[in-house]
Structure 1
Amino acid sequence: PWIYGSRGQFLTVDGDDTQPTDVAAVDTYSFDLGFMLPLNRVVFFPPETGRTTSSGGNASLVRVGTTGLLLKDQYPRQYTVSGSTNEREFLTGTSGGGGARGDLRRFANDFDFIVESNLNHSKRIADVRFDTEFLRFVRLTFPLTGIIAEVEFYGEGFLPQTRWVSQLFDMGEPVNFGRLHYDFEVYRSPGFGLEPELDPHADVRVEMELRSGRDDSPQIHHIITEIGTEDVASEKDYNRAPSTNRSTPGEQGFVAGGSFALPGQQGAILDDVENWSFWSAPHTSSGEEIRSPDGRQFVQARAFITSSEVFAYGRLNSLSIEFSPLLADPVVAEVAL
């Protein structure tokens, strides 16, 4: 996940619960979990062992003014846990004034959805439990700062969106496409470890998209040449080539953008828009006419399954594509005037 806030943000999820995220007290951490997840529990706590030291970087942030105190007793006495699915809300904060403290509190505003607020926290381990919610962003704020070692997230249920992309289907020759058929079922889980049940009324949907092409690769692969340009290569040769390394200015081979390319390494991967169509408009019902261009030998499908319910999901059992031979091969003729 991406994490912002007080110092030591990446140490909040490093799996080491014996060390504090920072020797100084912290006041906020914000987490971007990457995509929406069905969460129902957030846990954070200080280290079990260790004592405070005098090496805290910013004295204005250190609530504990005495060295040698047990770290396990220096947990935040106040906290708020809030969540969001809104990227803009995650990136919007307050400068909190100037200086180091202002920088640390840039993302200190609580999200609109308050999971729990506790202004009299008296336990070493904060175990915040709530009804399962789809959340991507989680923010912890500590009005009374303290020391923590780890932040843990728990949940159950199914992701709100799943994407599946098929392999390429080779029709053997250019063909005309007919209709798209698929078998899609909706299930609901009554609880953890219990057998799911069919529920066609659950709010779960599937959208199918197709694209068709003239050759067996929807993408164009490149390999770096001796003079630094890029030549088209087969996907097989591209996968055999070493990946482009990362570098910093001043190092040999550095190019703008932070990567340097050596001859024989992998280059860009681009969509082959000359030989492949774009993904079609979504198909929302089985049996609809395929919208991808005819006269192509290859076709590919992808499905987007979305659910607004934590414990409901969809299953795509089968997919079939109608096709038929072209009515006629291309004909070239002369016309006499």
Structure 2
Amino acid sequence: ELSGYVEGEDPRVWGWNIHPIMFDGDPRTAHTVPVSLMRAPHRYNYVFDMGVPVRVNRFVFYPKWSDELITPGNWYAGSPFYESYMRQYIVSASLYNEPPSPRRFPDDPEPLDFVLEKNMANYKKVVNIEFPLKPLRFFMLDSRSKDYGFTLAEIELYGQGFSPEAWYTSKIIDLKGPMNFGRIFYDLKKFRWRKEWSWKEPEEPGEYSELDLGRKSVRELWEERLIDPVPVEDPDAPVRVEVKVRTGKDDTPLIYYRTDDMLDERGEVVSREEYLSLGVRRVEFDRTHRPYVGMRGIIEPDRDNWSDWVTVEASGEEVGIPDVRRYIQFQVRMYSEDPWAFGRLDSVWIELSPPLADKILGEICVEGDPRPEEGVAEVEVGMDTSFVLALKASAPGRKEVFDAVRIFTPVRPKFEELRIGGKQENRDSLHVGDRYLEVFLPRKVGDDEPVEVRFRTAVLSYSTNFFAEVWDRGRELIPQRAVSGDAVDWIGTNQLQVFAAARSLEVLKDFRVAPVVVTPNGDGSNDSTEVTYTISLVMEGAKVELGVYDMAGRMVRKLVEEETGSAFGKVKGWNARDEDGKLVLPGVYLVKISVETDQGRTERAVPVIVIY
């Protein structure tokens, strides 16, 4: 991060005495580990990160390839430099297990997850390690040549097929003015294109150099077989795309600092160009290497002016990125589970329009508790609760800004009251969905004119953001999202987030069975019973089992067996019949529920009496 490194975009290398000439493509230049007889060689470790996983099947490295003779007083004196190859080594790799960072790199590191080759008596100048094609990201070459020096000209990777991951981050796009954002669309096509290559040994080996044959870098000696002559579109290919977006107020999402006279690493904000011209900052300091005035300081995200990355779950969906922003940036990540399958993203586009106002301020409170302690609204999880959400436009000089409000809720809401400018008014119309409430106002409201909506719903998680947006039904503009702020004086939360009260932190809430006496005689009265329950605080999914048991513990009827997330007021009936559809015998039965989550297992049971 200190040099502008971007995860997923930039490869990187680290270890002891890493040098760019090891990756410059020129076999005549080399990194030299002490070959002097007067100096004892040490172990050297080279680690590199491709940035994203790549599909590889060969790892190649070799010494300086030159006929120049090594001078006296060094190992291999009088021999050509290509004799100064590594005598002992371990090559290992991993897909996700990242090796230690440079600041923690040990002198004697353990190999990575996959040992590609271990050779403690190497006699090959060009080491060409071949292995089955697999996705890998991190590689480590650990020289075990403690007794001999060596040179290292190049480290090379070879592979086939399409990369399992590919990342692309767009440049920051200047929209030339603040905009509101709507739905995001993208067009993904999936293809297969299978090829195979095989190496054939030359009939006349003398035609090619020992280096090229060792590296297998002679193009005409590779035979290509096209299984698919051209890419074939395949909608079922195992390829997926992940599109992310973020918006900002200025043209850079990072803050760069220069160390000031007090050695504060957040001393002075500078541009990226100026930052990269400063002295390099070490990842850690010691008595020998101390911080100094004017060196590179910290780089950190500019969270005041830029949003976090937000994932677009599917093409055509609206995402919750902040409105009234001038700058936007996209990131695309493509994933393929098949070496011969790839995706092509033909386009990405987003709906946008000028903003309705400079800001739409919003805040929420629990009805009857407008100014909670520390300004934090708390609510019982899984309980039907009345809320008041207030909105106010900041649009100086404008008398007509919006006339419609949409509030997103965890479960189906119920409208209670509308107030405009502190006075109760009748709504023009209303639309209630499973997880949203739309209120159409009787007139357009303007700058600094608050709108308050009282409604009922339930929260099912530790914290809930009540997203709200407004729009003008008479104008073809994208709705504008509310941001947390002081919308009305009498509410003291200044935010659109509510939190779960500690006393209510239970996964299984409101488990009820009614009636508890069932008389299945067909008269329409108490012929069956209903089971109601609420599942809350679920992070990774809950396994729910609901059934009826006799007093000996045998299951009589399975009512529910499912994986679910948080759910409010689920209802399931039981008609006093067993799995075969036959009426059970009169007696006492247990309606039992079991909920298993990452927090543990919760069980409840209620007795039910069957009489007929």
Q: Residue 251 of structure 2: which of 214, 217, 221 is its match?
A: 217
Q: Which residue of 2 aligns with 1:252?
A: none
Q: Residue 448 of structure 2: which of 323, 329, 332 is its match?
A: 332
Shift of 1:220: 7.5
Alignment of 1:291-310 (within 5 A): 291-296=320-325, 299-310=328-339
Q: Which residue of 2 aligns with 1:113?
A: 114
The 3 A distance-change label for structure 1 pair 73 and 240 is closer
Shift of 1:70: 5.3
* Identity between Structure 1 and Structure 2 (%): 25
1: CA distance between counterparts of 2:298 and 2:327? Answer: 23
Shift of 1:204: 2.6
Shift of 1:148: 3.9
Q: TM-score, structure 2 length as denominator? A: 0.39
Could you tell me whether the CA contact under 8 Å between 2:242 and 2:332 is conserved in 1? yes
Deviations 1:200-225 (A, max 9, x none): 33333222223344x4535477898x
Instruction: Name the structure, 1 or 2, with higher relative contact order (CA <8 Å, separation 6+).
Output: 1
Shift of 1:141: 4.1
Q: Which residue of 1 aligns with 2:46?
A: 30
Could you tell me whether the CA contact under 8 Å between 1:247 and 1:258 is conserved in 2? no
2: CA distance between counterparts of 1:227 and 1:258? Answer: 8
Q: TM-score, structure 1 length as denominator? A: 0.65
Q: Which residue of 2 aligns with 1:180?
A: 184
Q: Residue 41 of structure 1: which of 58, 74, 79 is its match?
A: 58
The 3 A distance-change label for structure 1 pair 196 and 138 is farther
Shift of 1:31: 2.3
Could you tell me whether the CA contact under 8 Å between 2:250 and 2:305 is conserved in 1? no
Alignment of 1:153-232 (within 5 A): 153-156=156-159, 157-159=161-163, 160-165=165-170, 167-168=172-173, 170=175, 174-175=179-180, 177-191=181-195, 195-213=230-248, 215=249, 217=251, 219=253
Secondary structure of the structure 2 residue equivalent to 1:183: strand
2: CA distance between counterparts of 1:208 and 1:221? Answer: 24
Q: Residue 32 of structure 2: which of 21, 28, 51 is its match?
A: 21
Deviations 1:17-58 (A, max 9, x none): 3667231567553221342433332223344432464346xx
1: CA distance between counterparts of 2:321 and 2:119? Answer: 56
2: CA distance between counterparts of 1:171 and 1:94? Answer: 47
Paired residue total = 298
Q: Which moved more, 1:73-82 or 1:238-247?
A: 238-247
Unaligned runs of 5+ in 1: 57-63, 96-102, 249-255
2: CA distance between counterparts of 1:219 and 1:144? Answer: 47
Shift of 1:295: 4.8
Could you tell me whether the CA contact under 8 Å between 1:52 and 1:70 is conserved in 2? no
The 3 A distance-change label for structure 1 pair 230 and 132 is same
Q: Which residue of 1 aligns with 2:294?
A: 260
Shift of 1:259: 6.1
Alignment of 1:226-241 (within 5 A): 238=271
Could you tell me whether the CA contact under 8 Å between 1:223 and 1:267 is conserved in 2? yes
Q: Residue 2 of structure 1: which of 8, 13, 16 is its match?
A: 13
2: CA distance between counterparts of 1:72 and 1:230? Answer: 51
Could you tell me whether the CA contact under 8 Å between 2:185 and 2:350 is conserved in 1? yes
RMSD of aligned alpha carbons: 4.7
Give the letter for the 2:343 counterpart. G
Could you tell me whether the CA contact under 8 Å between 2:91 and 2:141 is conserved in 1? yes
2: CA distance between counterparts of 1:70 and 1:301? Answer: 52
